[in-house]
Amino acid sequence: MLAPDGEVNALLAADHRDPFAFLGMHDSWYGGPMLVRAFLPWAKAVTVLDAATGEPVGRLDRLREEGFFAGAIQGRTSWFPYRLRVSIDGGAVDVDDPYRFPPILSDADVHLLAEGSQLRCWELLGAHPRKMEGVDGVAFTVWAPHAGRIAVVGDFNDWDGRRHGMRQRHECGVWEMFLPGLQPGRLYKFEVKTAQGDRLPDKSDPLAFALEKQPGSASVICELGRYQWRDGDWMEKRKDLAARERPISIYQMHLGSWRRKPEEGHRWLTYQENADELVGYVSDMGFTHIQLMPVAEYDSEASVGYRPLAPFAPTSRWGTPDQFRLLVDRCHQAGIGVLVDWVPNQFSDDAHGLSLFDGTHLYESSDPQQRRRPGGDGLVYDYGRREVASYLVSNALFWLEEFHLDGLRIAGIDGMLYLDYGRARGEWTPNRYGGHENLDAVEFLRRLNEQVYAQQPGIFTVAQENSAWQRVSHPTFVGGLGFGFRWNSGWIRDVLRYLSRNPVHRKYYHDELLRGPGGAFQENYVLPMSHEEVSIGRGSILRKMPGDRWQRFANLRTFYALLFVHPGKKLMFMGTEFAQEREWNSEISLDWHMLGDFMHLGVQRLIRDLNALYRSTPALYELDCEPEGFEWIDCNDSDQSIISFVRKAKDGRGSVVVAFNFTPVSRPNYRLGVPSDGFWRERLNTDAEAYGGGNVGNGGGLEAIHEPMHGRPFSLALTLPPFAGVVLQHVGDGRGD
């Protein structure tokens, strides 16, 4: 039959399960002429054209008022390329029928997607402008194996799910369709019906490369590969860098609250404005890297990005994907690396996102006990499903490759590693060995690190893992998780707890200073003075310090100096570099006006100088992750609350001696054993007047004398200012000026 009522009714109700088997050109069942069927609600009349010659070869009859047309092409008994001439109000237009185009995915693509080994799925799935059979358009592909029907809807078809029902590739569960004539910039979603015929909320594309601005959730057709990068020198040099042996000082920031425009309704800066302002500031301050809090599109401001809605799309809050590329490009041109917080531990439960994507628990865990994060609204990925694990690894590679990122920081690793994390007895089920480890998540993290390090030389990954899990930053071939670095949050908390105490009582808690070096080389550590220490009711760093105003600033300066000379890479959250008084609030700008106060300005100067000292002194970074780079001088002077140690470089030259006084009492002629004779130059003193201190110091340096101390043959008669740290470097004979 030309158009069976059952199939037409299903089409008009947006229920047809296989529209490619009905619409378009098909053989007639009796061996007669070719049949053409089309659904064009806006058409008055339809004529079929031979695409090769442009000649009319047949006319389609309007069989339903809703716009269903069908007809036989007399004299044609085999398929041929065709177009449709559609009569509309005011004239006629020639269009390509999307139902005349062949499948999009090759057999090889289908095979890799089916077995979950396609780690570049962003090149196959999603919406891609391309040319098919000489026709420009957009290819849409989406993985939804349990759906009964999927259609592409958008501003190009009046969001009408009857118009563009997709073809299902049953071998891999992907639905696909090529829509001729579409251009980048158009909005789209997927209309999804379950196998039972129930319609779900229209879904954003899981591989959308851009989303419309909030509160909308439509995906935007976006062409990859158009941006002209200018960071070739950086990318080439990065391949040979060994991060463990390099100075890494990270400025962690939230793009929405770093700086705002009060004169323009208190709006946040765009990616492009940050490229103009942020890059210069970070470069001036001497940080080596910027770490952005999550930039993948997210659902609510309250999540600050840690509950992504569209994992492949930079948030539209601050601009377009190419404007985000510009920000990264400018950083690289200024010699600054860029990391982002990458979130594979949860995703938004928004009905328009990945949640129940095809009517089943497709992306989220199939185990109801593991489906949601304890105490939160986020859904947890099903790490044991091969397609989901490949989706996540592809996502990591996508950010590294398409945006030239230099690394990924992953928060909440402990919540991924343990089945019982945050759950009471009876709320979790042991693994197959009877343990509480999430074996699927462990395998996923190992696979992730193996792939990103193999495919993107020179990048590094950082784990925030606060449990006792061993070998987080060790290679996978020795049983590790494969991360490049691990946050040492425990050290930060211990030192801040110590510094918050009344100086009179600190001698009783001296061990809190010693735990860090005791375990500093079990992992490759980053010392994170992060947003977590200055938010969620914890107050600012400055407010944690005891004493009057001068003492609080002096304690803070001492803490910052210890952070920069202690083994481990460095991370500071925005605002802490000038001692912001209040707790961080993601809804408003940092308090930049505080730099009009000399004490706050002094802290900023100190951080600038600490970065310069750190980057120019191999003894402070080359052996950050090796025990050979650190020696205690004296860790036992608890009565005076003083610690001192040596940092060493690979070649043994330019060793650094540091001493910290955590009391308000100045210590003149404090005898300190040192490993070498000659002149020790005072590289930094936190009590310097320029930083807001009392300017008690050592006249630029000291000559070591042959008087044994602390088990060493030479010593210095050091002046230790109150609440201060002093850094001296061996320069040999002479003053090293």
**451-509 residue pLDDT tens:** 999 999 999 999 999 998 999 999 999 999 999 999 999 999 999 999 999 999 999 99
Q: Do domains 107-203 and 246-487 have the same CATH topology?
A: no
pLDDT confidence band for 737 (50 / 70 / 90):
very low
Could you give the CA distance from residue 331 to residue 275 in angstroms, rounded to a whole number?
7
CATH of 5-100, one of 2.60.40.10, 4.10.520.10, 2.40.100.10, 2.130.10.10: 2.60.40.10
Strands (E), 273-364: 289-292, 296-298, 308-314, 337-342
**In one letter, which amino acid is 591?**
D
Q: Could you tell me which residues are beta bridge partners of residue 27?
A: none
- Exposed / middle / buried, residue 241 (Cβ in 10 Å: 0-12, 13-18, 19+): middle
Could you give the CA distance from residue 625 to residue 525 in angstroms, rounded to a whole number?
7
**174-227 residue pLDDT tens:** 999 999 999 999 999 999 999 999 999 999 999 999 999 988 999 999 999 899
- For the beta sheet containing 68-73, the strands, ordered from the edge strand earlier in sequence to the opposite edge, are 24-26, 34-39, 68-73, 56-64, 45-50, 82-88, 91-95
Contact 348/301 with Cβ under 8 angstroms?
Answer: no
Place of tokens 């008669």: 717
Where are the chain's structural domains? 5-100, 107-203, 246-487, 626-732
Q: Please tell me the CATH superfamily of domain 246-487, with its number.
A: Glycosidases (3.20.20.80)
**417-426 residue pLDDT tens:** 999 999 999 9
Closest CA to 173 of 203, 142, 207: 142
**48-79 residue pLDDT tens:** 999 999 999 999 999 999 999 999 999 999 99
Contact 527/491 with Cβ under 8 angstroms?
Answer: yes
pLDDT confidence band for 652 (50 / 70 / 90):
confident
Give the global pTM.
0.95
In the predicted model, is pLDDT for residue 734 greater than 80? no
Measured in degrees and rounded to the nearest 5, phi and psi for residue 613 equal -60, -50
Query: Could you give the 3-state DSSP secondary structure of residue 181?
Result: coil
Q: Which two tokens stand for residue 135?
A: 């026709």
Contact 379/364 with Cβ under 8 angstroms?
Answer: yes
Assigned CATH class of 107-203: mainly beta
Q: Which fold has domain 626-732?
A: Immunoglobulin-like (2.60.40)
Alpha helices in 418-477 (DSSP H): 439-455
Contact 521/566 with Cβ under 8 angstroms?
Answer: no
Q: Which two tokens stand for residue 462?
A: 């950082």
